């Protein structure tokens, strides 16, 4: 009986640890990514996948933002197209995506996710990057293709998708 309680307690602690460990990769940087002073998040969801022979990973976060945040973003983007994010320029552009970015973009949109929810979200983003009233920004280093970050902002649904892929 004592062993059963100990196993139950250990299983409970492990479960609580995993449930409480959801951390958002971009959450603290959203204000610099969007070029706004204060980001108001209505809801957020994270999808991720780690593994592969080379230790690749992909993290996709979905943020529903407030009307106030969207208004500030659109006002700022009208006057300034570039913001600083971790010493890298964030250049927001309207769809369609510039063809010189296709190689970096294909690393994300051609990713074969094994997680079904992540796969569905990537397919949703593929459709979004064909729609008007959508903004995007790609952050990558042409000399080092170890990582690519894609930001897609759908103003119609007030949804920001942030994606980080590393190899």
Q: How far apart are CA 88 and CA 81, in angstroms?
A: 13
The residue among 76 and 19 whose pLDDT is bigger is 76
Provide mean pLDDT across the span 151-163: 94
For 110-129, the pLDDT digits (tens) are 888 888 899 899 999 989 98
Provide mean pLDDT across the span 26-30: 87
Task: Give the per-residue pLDDT at 52.
Answer: 54
Does residue 21 carry a pLDDT above 50? no
Does residue 131 carry a pLDDT above 60? yes
Q: How far apart are CA 101 and CA 50, in angstroms?
A: 24
Which residues pair with residue 57 across a beta bridge?
50, 166
φ/ψ of 139, rounded to 5, equals -120, 120
Helices 102-109, 116-128: crossing angle, 10 deg rounding: 150
Does residue 27 carry a pLDDT above 50? yes
Q: Tokens 């969007």 — which residue?
A: 34
Does residue 80 carry a pLDDT above 70? yes
Provide mean pLDDT across the span 16-24: 50
Share of the chain above pLDDT 90, in %: 31
Mean residue pLDDT of the chain comes to 81
Residue 71 pLDDT class (50, 70, 90 cuts): very high
For 90-117, the pLDDT digits (tens) are 889 888 887 777 777 887 888 888 888 9
């Amino acid at each position: 009986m004592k062993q059963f309680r100990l196993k139950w307690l250990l299983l409970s602690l492990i479960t609580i640890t995993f449930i409480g460990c959801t951390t958002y990769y971009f959450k603290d940087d959203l204000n610099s990514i969007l070029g706004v002073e204060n980001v108001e998040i209505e809801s957020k969801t994270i999808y991720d996948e780690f593994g592969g022979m080379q230790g690749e990973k992909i993290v996709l976060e979905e943020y529903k933002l407030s009307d106030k945040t969207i208004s500030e973003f659109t006002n700022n983007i009208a006057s300034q197209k570039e913001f600083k994010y971790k010493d890298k320029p964030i250049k927001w552009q309207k769809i369609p995506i510039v063809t010189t970015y296709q190689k970096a973009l294909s690393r994300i949109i051609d990713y074969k996710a094994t997680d079904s929810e992540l796969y569905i979200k990537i397919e949703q983003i593929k459709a979004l990057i064909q729609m008007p009233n959508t903004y995007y920004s790609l952050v990558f280093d042409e000399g080092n293709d170890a990582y690519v970050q894609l930001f897609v902002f759908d103003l119609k649904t007030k949804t920001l998708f942030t994606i980080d892929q590393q190899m």
